[in-house]
Structure 1
Amino acid sequence: MRERAKYIPMRLSIKERKLLRLLEAALSVSEYVDRVDVISFKSRSGRMVSMIKEVCSILCGLLVSSDYKEGQRLIENKNYADNEEFFQKIFEVGRRHKIMNPEKMRSTYGKLIYMLQDAESPEVSEVLGFKCVKEIRTVFSFLQYAGAVELLNDPLVQLATSEIRSENRSREQVNADIRHKEKAVEHLARKYRSEKLEEEDIRCCLYSIGDNNAFLRFTRDPCEKMLEWLRSKFNPELPEDDFSLAIIGGRNGARLTHSHSRQYRFVEQSLMLWSAILKDMFKLWHLSEQDLLSSLHPYKLRDTGQGLNRVQHSPRIGSEMERILHSVQSKLQSKWEGSSVVHLGDHNVPNALMFIDKYTQVERILNPVVLCIEKLPQLYASDKGIRKYLDSSFGSVEHLSKMILSDFFRSAFDGSGADNFFDAGSCIDGRLTSAWNWCSRIERKPYFPAFLLTGFTGFDGKFE
């Protein structure tokens, strides 16, 4: 718990949420990346400083309009450097909110992190005269400052931060669990309160850990569910005629040639790796920001084949990915299938921001598939019309479920989806690329009506 808490961000307070709205409003009208990331003979550092000051000016103006007294105190007879603490705080709030809610700030976080990346470069920070970046406030750092780290060792923390599930349980059981959890929270709040740490602060710490548990359920659990179905519905050595996982390069868009058993292992290992990555996603996010905001490894603006991108070496997240990959490989009973290359700092994955963005897509890919397969039996049992349609079109719900899973395990892990034949394939990055390629072709699948019946609207919902 102590190790996890080092990377779990603190929930935003009411005041911090007001700052977040100001930041999102300022970033939404900013054209930072469009103005800075262009090839020009003029100095880029001059444009960076100008654009950063413009965002800071917008923030000050928005603060005046939302809270006149606070805004007046901020800007009266002061320059940008005098308000360094305010700018650091508001930018930290935005970064912390994004880590806790990957589906939020999808059009503004990139601007923010690239702006801070430029602000940390020596030539820009010297002209600005102040620093824009400070460390993310985590549960561990907050408790450490208050001298209450021992809270994390208390056995009651597990109960106080557990997620209460309602599936296949009575209301009485759920209510009993809620009472026990609330009782544990209140006991810990009273036990560890001090002059530096109020009861509400302790509750916030516990709820923040609980948020991480909810994040894991929403992102990592689909991987575990797909693994469970792979192992229970498919025999690795004896393929069924209609549900073989074998793929042949050049057929149906596949770039890999795998027998049924080899493809089974390839899919199993990929899902295990995704699950391990998502388990440590908060840690990876912290490391990615350290790499992005480090002045020791400056980026280079290059055309990667998909427009101009910031290509930057990312040693911290690269090292952590190697550790995760080695950990997964050590649990296998067979050899690792495919390439173990982790693309970072090249034309495939230019920087750590792109890396993080790729792996936040895993739950968007898997959750609709999991929800469809889980809802099909309920629909079949509750509606005679749907029951008749499914029986006549697919034979049975079990047959339909295996049809969806077998096609996903074949086509979403076939090495396809890249712009040219040399990319994608079986590397760590390419497995996600081919999964997204499968998502883009879902409308052409014979089982697509079953997805629509279960409420499917798309793999990339809008959460702004």
Structure 2
Amino acid sequence: MSSSKLGAVLDENDESEPAQVGGDQPATLYEEHVARLKAEAEATDVANRLRVAQEQLAEYAAQKEADAVSLQQDADRFEEVLRSSGGAEELQPVAQLFNQLKEKLTEAAMEARAFAAQQASDLATLKRSSAQADLSTSNHDIEMKRARESASGGEASEPEEAEEGTDDGDEVARGKIGSSPAGHPSTSFAERAKYIPLRLSHDERKLLRLLEAALNVSEFVDKVDILTWRNKNQRIHAQIKDLCAILSGLLVATNYKKGQDLIRDRDFADNAVFFQDLFELGRRYKILNPDKMRSEYGKLMYLLMDSAEPAIQELLDFKCVRQLRTVHRFLEERGGLALLSDPLLETAAAEIIAGERPRHEIQRDIKVKERARETLGRRYRSARLSDEDILSCIYSLSDNNSYLLFNRDPIDKVIAYFHRYFKADSHEPGYSLGIQGGRDGARLTHNHERQYHYVLQSLTLWREISTEMFKLWYLAESDMLREGNSYRLCDTGQGLNRVQSAPQVSKAMQQILSRVQSRIGSWVGSSVVHLGDHNVPNALWFIDKYTQVPRILNPLVSVLEELPKLYRDANLRAYIDSTYGGMEQCRKAMLVDFCRHAFDGSGADNFFDAGSCIDGRLTSAWNWCAKLEKKPYYHVFRLAGWVGFDGEVKS
């Protein structure tokens, strides 16, 4: 691309007001165009809402059919008991009433069966009609698909799909040293390393600070995601100007001479590798540190999403997106994949958990871990793979284990508390998990046993998602940055958001959900996964939602574990005893309320946006967090050191 061409683009007028040529006709055409776009977006959103509602209604009908059949079976067993009584005269009135009741149950079962069949048929018809109408595909999407199909090749940015294996369902067996998951299809380091980013080097961390500073002052999203553009060229023009300003500023701050050459010649292609590496290391750092770059990462992903458009790439004459640098890819390039199969690697990358252990045991584990790293370094170093490279890979795998320790372990602890204090078939007086729709904000109606299974399967699902989070994050970025996967800007009720499909994340989620359902054996509530609709507009929202799980459960676990320490204080013991009747009763009161109202279908304006769907379970949990200050045990949370569920927004 010539410098004059890019310069001409940059010198265009970027005013968003429509040009007034030939009277009011252009303005009228522009208004009609905007109105048509809005109408199409609203129609697509309504179609998505209808689809989700139909799926949930079909699942509700199927559940009611199962309940009716179960009642009918109970009636048959009761009838056998009456017959075995020998037809005693005193039981004749009971038998007559039972026959009437059984007729009604039979009729209700038939109606439930017909209703379920009708809803299943309506759902299948709706899916076929939606596929034929293709409401979610605009003309622009069709053009993008045609361009992608006609292309001979493209950037190999899509990851290899992991083969679905079996899961024995056992919980993680964590010893004194070591924290890798067990009994999971992606437990081996050879598989996990495909999605684990490589830890940043010292020089890369310097560039990271520069990237964070540039993104912090950028107003890219505010200027781009608006609905007042008269045509697509204006949008591309504004994106190019903003992108060029960011790239130029980054290079000037990093290398003044190169930056001056870039500003003078406006030749970005010569510096393509620098910009690709810069953006890639920002993505890599965020995955390894989910609590960092809370606002900057969204800007970066939206900027790269726009840069993947063919029109933008043609103007820039290079691609901003490159493949994520993972441990597996790094070792593959240097012929060191054998490292991932070494049994000693688990010890070298393990997490050392202190707990209540004496100091000498911890020091012993540290020495064992250091010796394992030294042995691996001597065993696999080569001309292409240095000791420092091997240590970097081991540290990266350790980062993944650290993530599991602080993000998945709280779920395991909550599940352990849940099994300790509750049983499915019985409950202590006053500690029932049952909820009633319309009472205390609940939208669902479950008895104790049903709510028990509902909570347990939700926690188990969250645990599986946390275990697979690095893979899901990798797939989410691949979906967002894939060429041709365009988005539409819609008002989702939470402001203007980019609604974009995420087929790879959706497929992975269905595999996780199927694995959890097969392990549990039954499923309570809806199994609808919101993704690419008004609830979860794109894959970035999906990742953001499920990185909140440890922010919800970590404080809860900390308070439960801190209670014994508080109970040692005489004054606090008197307070807890007088209010709850003891420390164990205080714990059970917290857990009962959490299991009831963090999983009661609340937190949204209607049932279909919250309810019992996969996304709605997390919405209900956040709603419980928002109401914690009104709970009777709020003071115990404060005494235990709780300050909030959300961390610092700034890194």
TM-score of the aligned structures, taking structure 2 as reference length: 0.69
Matched residue, 2:557: 370
- Give the SS at the match of 1:461: coil
- Give the SS at the match of 1:419: coil
User: How far does residue 49 in structure 1 lie from its aligned partner after superposition?
Assistant: 1.1
2:240 is matched by which residue type in structure 1? V
- Return the match for 2:464 from 273, 276, 280: 276
The 3 A distance-change label for structure 1 pair 72 and 159 is farther
The within-5 A match list for 1:437-452 is 437-452=623-638
Matched residue, 1:87: 275
TM-superposition CA deviations, 1:128-178 (whole Å, max 9, x none): 211101111111111001101001111100110110011121101000000
How far apart, CA to CA, are the structure 2 residues paired with 1:72 and 1:196?
A: 35
Matched residue, 1:359: 546
- Give the SS at the match of 1:313: coil
Runs of 4+ in 1 over 4 A off after TM superposition: 68-78
393-402 or 170-179, larger mean C-alpha shift: 393-402
- Give the SS at the match of 1:61: helix
The within-5 A match list for 1:148-187 is 148-187=336-375
- Give the SS at the match of 1:425: coil
Contact 2:262 2:268 in 1 (8 A): no
How far apart, CA to CA, are the structure 2 residues paired with 1:287 and 1:134?
A: 14
1:369 is matched by which residue type in structure 2? L
How far apart, CA to CA, are the structure 2 residues paired with 1:70 and 1:45?
A: 26
Matched residue, 1:379: 566
How far apart, CA to CA, are the structure 1 residues paired with 2:222 and 2:397?
A: 37
The 3 A distance-change label for structure 1 pair 172 and 72 is farther
The within-5 A match list for 1:212-361 is 212-333=400-521, 335-361=522-548
Matched, 1:407 2:593: yes
1:394 is matched by which residue type in structure 2? Y
How far apart, CA to CA, are the structure 2 residues paired with 1:234 and 1:404?
A: 13
How far apart, CA to CA, are the structure 1 residues paired with 2:544 and 2:507?
A: 18
Matched residue, 1:35: 223
How far apart, CA to CA, are the structure 2 residues paired with 1:32 and 1:75?
A: 20
183-192 or 78-87, larger mean C-alpha shift: 78-87
**Tell me, which stretches of 5 or more residues in structure 2 are unaligned?**
1-188
Number of equivalent positions: 459
- Give the SS at the match of 2:432: coil
The 3 A distance-change label for structure 1 pair 15 and 73 is farther
- Return the match for 1:397 from 583, 586, 590: 583
Matched residue, 2:609: 423
How far apart, CA to CA, are the structure 2 residues paired with 1:315 and 1:296?
A: 13
Matched residue, 2:38: none
User: How far does residue 384 in structure 1 lie from its aligned partner after superposition?
Assistant: 2.0
The 3 A distance-change label for structure 1 pair 454 and 70 is farther
User: How far does residue 191 in structure 1 lie from its aligned partner after superposition?
Assistant: 1.2
Contact 1:60 1:75 in 2 (8 A): no
How far apart, CA to CA, are the structure 2 residues paired with 1:76 and 1:102?
A: 38
How far apart, CA to CA, are the structure 2 residues paired with 1:75 and 1:49?
A: 14
1:459 is matched by which residue type in structure 2? F
User: How far does residue 297 in structure 1 lie from its aligned partner after superposition?
Assistant: 2.0
Provide the identity percentage. 55
Contact 2:196 2:327 in 1 (8 A): yes
TM-superposition CA deviations, 1:441-464 (whole Å, max 9, x none): 011111011111111110001051
1:409 is matched by which residue type in structure 2? C
Matched, 1:197 2:385: yes
Matched residue, 1:50: 241
Matched residue, 1:102: 290
- Return the match for 1:22 from 210, 221, 240: 210
User: How far does residue 69 in structure 1 lie from its aligned partner after superposition?
Assistant: 6.6
1:417 is matched by which residue type in structure 2? G
The 3 A distance-change label for structure 1 pair 380 and 74 is farther
Note the aligned Cα RMSD (angstroms). 1.4
TM-superposition CA deviations, 1:423-443 (whole Å, max 9, x none): 100000000000000000011
Contact 1:377 1:397 in 2 (8 A): yes
Matched residue, 1:63: 254
The 3 A distance-change label for structure 1 pair 421 and 336 is closer
How far apart, CA to CA, are the structure 2 residues paired with 1:22 and 1:236?
A: 54
User: How far does residue 72 in structure 1 lie from its aligned partner after superposition?
Assistant: 6.4
1:336 is matched by which residue type in structure 2? W
How far apart, CA to CA, are the structure 2 residues paired with 1:376 and 1:268?
A: 23
User: How far does residue 36 in structure 1 lie from its aligned partner after superposition?
Assistant: 0.2
- Give the SS at the match of 1:301: strand
How far apart, CA to CA, are the structure 2 residues paired with 1:428 and 1:238?
A: 27
The 3 A distance-change label for structure 1 pair 75 and 187 is farther
Contact 2:487 2:500 in 1 (8 A): yes
How far apart, CA to CA, are the structure 2 residues paired with 1:137 and 1:423?
A: 37
2:543 is matched by which residue type in structure 1? I
360-369 or 300-309, larger mean C-alpha shift: 300-309
User: How far does residue 421 in structure 1 lie from its aligned partner after superposition?
Assistant: 3.8
TM-score of the aligned structures, taking structure 1 as reference length: 0.97
Contact 2:208 2:281 in 1 (8 A): yes
How far apart, CA to CA, are the structure 1 residues paired with 2:264 and 2:207?
A: 19
The 3 A distance-change label for structure 1 pair 36 and 73 is closer
How far apart, CA to CA, are the structure 1 residues paired with 2:396 and 2:225?
A: 36
